[in-house]
Amino acid sequence: MPLLEARALTRRFGSFTALDGVDFDLRAGEIHAVLGENGAGKSTLMNVLSGLLRPSTGELLIDGQSVRFASPADANAQGIGMVHQHFLLVPPLSVAENLLLSADKAKGGPLSWPLKSVLTEAQALAKSLGWSLPWDALAGSLPVGTQQRIEILKALRGQTKILIFDEPTAVLTPTETPELFATLRQLAAEGKGIVFISHKLDEVLALSERVTVLRRGKVVARLATAECDAGMLAEAMVGSNLSPTPLPDSCSSLGKGAGGEVLTVQNLTLGKLKNLSFSVAPGEILGFAGVDGNGQTELADCLSGMRKPESGEIRVGAMRLSPAPKAVREAQIGVIPADRQKRGLALSMTLTENLTLGVQDSPEFRKSIFLNAKALRARAEQLIQRFDIRTEGPESRASSLSGGNQQKVVIARALAGEPKVVIAVNPTRGLDVGAISYVHTALREAQAAGAAIVLISTELDEVLTLSDRVAVLFEGKLRGIVAPETPREELGRLMGGAAA
Ligand code: ADP
Ligand code: MG
């Protein structure tokens, strides 16, 4: 009998379904990986399993008994502990105080536990794992790997037999990762069930016995790790879903090579990204496919002027691009950033204000040192019309819009000035089908108007549907540039690291 079982779990946020009929089971003594791209629903599933979120429908069972969790503390009392993606320690408190605080929350009383007994239990656990921890040091002063160990102690307290790790290696240094893996293996050997979330194929292959692959909230594969390779996992992760829409005629007739290269990238190197070179012609969409975490973020950051490359250069026409958002705007590059809420929008500001960002310095919208409010508002109204933004009006706050309409604001700003180059990063993440098709049409229109477009997306279908050429990144290097008609299995292999 599985230690933990989920049956037909569904979780909706408003009209969006983040988990859709998910079945999952965890055995005692196994490390079970949950793999999926960003936005696949991994954290949502774990938050349901650990009592942080309630399922919309579906059932959870522990040792074959149906259970319901009112809170994480409740789940913890029933044997489930979770180590979150973002740590929940209080930085100015000591390690011991942090443990006491969380112990007390679990018991529900105001500081009713004696510090000493909490500490004794934690110290015994730490010793069994071979750790020596600075109990009196302030949590905020410790290396991330040590902070994570404190989180593990918190999750392990009491009768915990199920431990969930949400992307635990994302924050670790290369030397801390093997240490964490050793801990996970030891805990599994002691008979605990471990759920390990990741979007990194090599980690999943190295650590787990079984893999459940999530895509858009659904389980798309259940595999025994020993029978998998990276290519199979990559393919399962990015498999088919969106139905491709045919290109409008205007695009295919323009397209490749219509007038020399606009965007040229040479030997770009930053962090994971190594010596990347490519170029994009006017009216062309070059799509980057690859499992997330293979250099896409670095590439997007360089192309949008957010970070300075360690070496290499980016040219628009003959002009060398400086690493600054302002230089990017001046070079007529429109950016659709990955995270619309953090980088794309000022949520508490109005649509007019949001749409003004980027044009505030142009003479058209300035009267001496003041902004020309009337002109800006008129422009916002036009853009709301043109980009079909469903809102009460230009004075509505960005936070009041649905996700799809927020993304239209971001796109309006990126595409309004008829840019020469467009950088689109996961432009449809988290959107529903209608909004996705809108975004795709907007990109095709920019393409038809002659823009050179770089599309970086973890949605393989999106890349294949929109791109004229498909570049595959693996571990920061270009594995090849192939035609979008390339068979999926072949792409999966490239994404898993095979040479083109
Ligand atoms: P993963 O951990 O696999 O990257 P998540 O479970 O965090 O994915 O998110 C799955 C989807 O659910 C995403 O599209 C995300 O935007 C959406 N989502 C997650 N939490 C919420 C929330 N609280 N409200 C609305 N949408 C959410
Ligand atoms: Mg997550």
Ordered per-residue pLDDT tens for the chain, 500 residues: 899 999 999 999 988 899 999 999 999 999 999 998 878 899 999 999 999 999 999 999 999 999 999 998 899 889 999 998 777 888 888 898 888 887 765 555 545 556 677 888 899 999 999 999 999 999 888 888 899 999 999 999 878 999 999 989 877 777 788 999 999 999 999 999 999 998 788 889 999 999 999 998 999 999 999 998 888 888 888 764 333 333 333 333 333 434 567 999 999 999 999 999 999 999 999 999 988 788 999 999 999 998 999 999 999 988 899 988 888 988 999 999 887 777 778 887 888 888 877 666 676 666 666 667 788 888 899 899 888 888 888 888 888 888 888 989 999 989 988 899 999 999 988 777 778 888 999 999 999 999 999 999 988 889 999 999 999 999 899 989 999 998 888 888 888 877 66
What was the pLDDT predicted at 254?
A: 35
- How far apart are the CA of 47 and the centre of ligand 2, in A? 10
- Residues 18, 155 within the same domain: yes
SS (H, E, C) the chain: CCCEEEEEEEEEECCEEEEEEEEEEECCCCEEEEECCCCCCHHHHHHHHCCCCCCCEEEEEECCEEECCCCHHHHHHCCEEEECCCCCCCCCCEHHHHHHHHHHHHHCCCCCCCHHHHHHHHHHHHHHCCCCCCCCCEHHHCCHHHHHHHHHHHHHCCCCCEEEECCCCCCCCCCHHHHHHHHHHHHHHCCCEEEEEECCHHHHHHHCCEEEEEECCEEEEEEEHHHCCHHHHHHHHHCCCCCCCCCCHHHHHCCCCCCCCCEEEEEEEECCEEEEEEEECCCCEEEEECCCCCCHHHHHHHHCCCCCCCEEEEEECCEECCCCHHHHHHCCEEEECCCHHHHHCCCCCEHHHHHHCCCCCCHHHEECCEECHHHHHHHHHHHHHHCCCCCCCCCCEHHHCCHHHHHHHHHHHHHCCCCCEEEEECCCCCCCHHHHHHHHHHHHHHHHCCCEEEEECCCHHHHHHHCCEEEEEECCEEEEEECCCCCHHHHHHHHCCCCC
pLDDT at 366: 65
Q: Residues 169, 274: one domain?
A: no
Residue 47 domain-assigned (yes or no): yes
Distance 83 CA to ligand 1 centre (A): 18
User: Ligand 1: which residue has its CA nearest to atom 5?
Assistant: 41
Looking at the fold, whether 276 and 303 belong to one and the same domain comes out as yes
Minimal-distance CA residue to ligand 1 atom 17: 18
Cα–ligand 1 centroid distance for 64 (angstroms):
28
Q: Are 122 and 205 members of one domain?
A: yes
| Last-in-domain residue among 212, 238, 264 | 238
Nearest Cα residue to atom 24 of ligand 1: 13
Structural domain contains residue 243: no
43 lines ligand 1 (CB under 6 A): yes
Given ligand 1 and candidates 16, 48, 204, which is best to mutate, with the most ligand atoms within 8 Å of its CB? Answer: 16
Q: Whose CA is nearest to atom 19 of ligand 1?
A: 44
- Report CA(129)–ligand 1 centroid distance (Å): 33
Q: Which domain holds residue 403?
A: 249-495
Domain membership flag for residue 487: yes
Q: Which of 183, 218, 238 is the C-terminal boundary of a domain? A: 238
How far does the centroid of ligand 1 lie from the alpha carbon of residue 99, in Å?
29
Residues 256, 234 within the same domain: no
Say if CB 439 and CB 462 are below 8 A apart: no
Q: At 113, which CATH number?
A: 3.40.50.300
Assess whether 75 and 150 both reside in one domain.
Answer: yes
Tell me whether residue 360 is exposed, middle or buried, using C-beta atoms within 10 angstroms of its C-beta: 0 to 12, 13 to 18, 19 or more: exposed
What local confidence, expressed as pLDDT, does residue 251 receive?
32
Indicate which atom in ligand 1 lies nearest the CA of residue 53.
23
- Domain edge (last residue) among 179, 211, 238: 238
166 is a domain residue: yes
Q: Which ligand is nearest to the CA of 19?
A: 1
Task: Quote the CA–CA distance of 282 and 4 in Å, as a whole number.
Answer: 54
Q: Ligand 1 in contact with 85 (CB < 6 A)?
A: no
* Same domain flag for 155 and 264: no
390 and 327 together in one domain: yes
User: Minimum-distance ligand to the CA of 39?
Assistant: 1
Pair 196, 290 in one domain = no
Same-domain pairing of 453 and 485: yes
| Ligand number with the minimum distance to the CA of 431 | 1
pLDDT at 238: 75
- Regarding the beta carbon of 170 and ligand 1, being less than 6 Å apart is answered no
For residue 11, tell me if it sits in a domain. yes
- Predicted model pTM: 0.59
Residues 262 and 172 both lie in one domain: no
Q: How remote is the CA of residue 37 from the centroid of ligand 1, in Å?
A: 11
40 lines ligand 1 (CB under 6 A): yes
What spacing in Å lies between the alpha carbon of 38 and ligand 1's midpoint?
Answer: 9
Cβ of 406 below 6 Å from ligand 1:
no
**485 alpha carbon to ligand 1 midpoint, in Å?**
31
For residue 213, give the ligand nearest its CA: 1
Looking at the 3D structure of the chain, how many domains does it have?
2
State in Å: Cα 47 to ligand 1 middle.
Answer: 10
Q: Tokens 């938050």 — which residue?
A: 47
Query: In this structure, which residues have their CB less than 5 angstroms from ion ligand 2?
Result: 42-43
Q: Is 244 inside any structural domain? A: no
Please indicate, yes or no, whether residues 135 and 260 belong to a single structural domain of this protein. Answer: no
Q: Is residue 419 part of a domain?
A: yes
**Is position 208 within any domain?**
yes
